[in-house]
Amino acid sequence: MTNETERPAAEEPVQGAVQEKIEEVVAIQETVPQVTVVTEAAPHEPPPEDPRPRRVPAWKKPEYRFIFRLTALALILALLAVAAAYLILPDKAYSASEKRMLTGPPSLTLDSLASGRFMDEIEDYAADQFPLRDFWMKAKTTFFRVMNMRESQGVYLLSNGGLAERFDTPDEQNFTETTDAVRAFSERYPETPMYFLLAPTAVSMLEDLLPKDAVTESQDAYIERLFATLPEGIRPIDVRAAFRSADDPASLYYRTDHHWTTKGALFAYTTAKAVMGIDSDVTFSGGVASNSFRGSLTGKSGFTVDPPDELTIYLPENAPSTFLYTVNYPDELRKTASVYDLDSLVSDDPYTVFFGSNHPLIEIDTTADTDRTLLVIKDSYANSFIPFALTEFARIVLLDPRYYYDDIDVLMKAESFTDVLFLYNVNTLAADTSLKVVLTNIQ
């Protein structure tokens, strides 16, 4: 290839000279304006050397020599530094700040190469293993804050530095179907008192901290609409007043996660006790179990939150000394003597310290001196709530409709619960399509 590439007009003896010679000629011609316009070249003549007039290119001006050299140097160094860091730094398996596994090196096969999967994986790998990833994320969050842009992927950056997930317009049909199913379920068991605790989330309880005019549906309106549909057999548990009158409402929600804090759950339990007629003098005291909790919202939004959240566990101070309980996870054929899964504290999701993770069914049997038994139909907000209620029920069954595929009526008849509690947060319930399926499940 090479001869022809470098010597465009080998027939011409003058231009058949060495490569460098040509470059000199070109260099001169680039600086000398030419005005000849040749539109048609005669056959078998070499092409005209750049026929248009040309100014001195910027890179040839002596006054720019430094800035261009320095820019060249900076880019080369940046490229080399990152490329070297890729090679030297070991791969990380997990990002604590984003709460997710990072991509490892992909395997190269002919198949993955032809389909382009290998390339996609390399892209993920290169982005995930970028040196000082956390530092770059922080830089980006700072830039967003400076630009006063406080929303990313449906997550708002609150003015206290925490995060809150937007409440999106619920689907009307799903709302009707869900509330109809709840009502029908209650009417099938008229003897069983039922309760509905619908927890607001940070986006409405901390609305003072949202960006001004932030776009979010009203959770208040949703809660009131839902409570209005409940039949007589289901008593609403409205925690909003208690939350709003708290000394520090922000402490009732994690700054990095979509859940309420254990303190928020305790506030809700205090309200629920009154409605459910639980007359108990058990008090609780809390202790910090983890101070490095980075919840789901940091990963979702890409905003970094510093410092990470604390996760508190409350224990009863004055439970009867003989009080004991067992927790049974039928799906895992596993029994424990604690609602806490302490290993989870160091996992990627410390919130799973409550009952490990989400299970279709959890059965708790206690030595509490009562006949009351409780079925909780719930989302994950209940996981930090239920530990407060252990001493008040002889048996508690937690049912998560998102994972439950059995017949709820069989369960109701077999267990004959004295109480049924629905416990959801607004965001989950509004998007949930599993509750109506489980409640109307007729097999």
Site for another protein in 165-224 (CB under 8 A): 211-215
- Verify binding: residue 100, another protein, rule CB under 8 A: no
- Verify binding: residue 245, another protein, rule CB under 8 A: no
Site for another protein in 293-332 (CB under 8 A): 302
Q: Give exposure, 338-369, as e/b (b: 16+ Cβ within 10 Å).
A: ebbbeebbeeeebbbbbbbeebbbbbbbbebe
Residue 324: what residue type? L
Interacting span for another protein (CB under 8 A) from 47-55, 239-247, 320-328, 409-417: 47-55
Q: Toward another protein, which CB reaches closer, 127 or 410?
A: 127
Q: Toward another protein, which CB reaches closer, 147 or 337?
A: 147
DSSP summary character for residue 43: T
Radius of gyration of the chain (CA): 33
SS3 helix, strand, coil % of the chain, rounded to 5?
40, 15, 40
Q: Toward another protein, which CB reaches closer, 64 or 405?
A: 64
Interacting span for another protein (CB under 8 A) from 108-116, 314-322, 374-382, 386-394: 108-116
Q: Toward another protein, which CB reaches closer, 5 or 245?
A: 5
CA angle 330, 264, 240 (to 5 degrees): 115
CB of 228 to another protein, least distance (A): 24
32, 36, 66, 332: which one binds another protein (CB under 8 A): 66
Q: Toward another protein, which CB reaches closer, 73 or 288?
A: 73
Q: Could you give the 3-state DSSP secondary structure of residue 364?
A: strand
Q: Could you give the 3-state DSSP secondary structure of residue 417?
A: coil
Q: Toward another protein, which CB reaches closer, 143 or 405?
A: 143
- Verify binding: residue 77, another protein, rule CB under 8 A: no
Nearest to 196 by CA among 210, 216, 182: 182
Q: Toward another protein, which CB reaches closer, 2 or 173?
A: 2
- Which sign does the torsion angle of CA 185, 188, 192, 193 carry? positive
CB of 407 to another protein, least distance (A): 39
12, 50, 171, 407: which one binds another protein (CB under 8 A): 50
Q: Using a CB cutoff of 8 Å and minimum separation of 24, what contacts does 28-37 make?
A: 29/54, 30/54, 30/56, 30/57, 30/60, 31/56, 31/60
How, if at all, do strands 419-425 and 373-378 pair?
parallel
CB of 253 to another protein, least distance (A): 22
- Verify binding: residue 70, another protein, rule CB under 8 A: yes
CB of 51 to another protein, least distance (A): 9
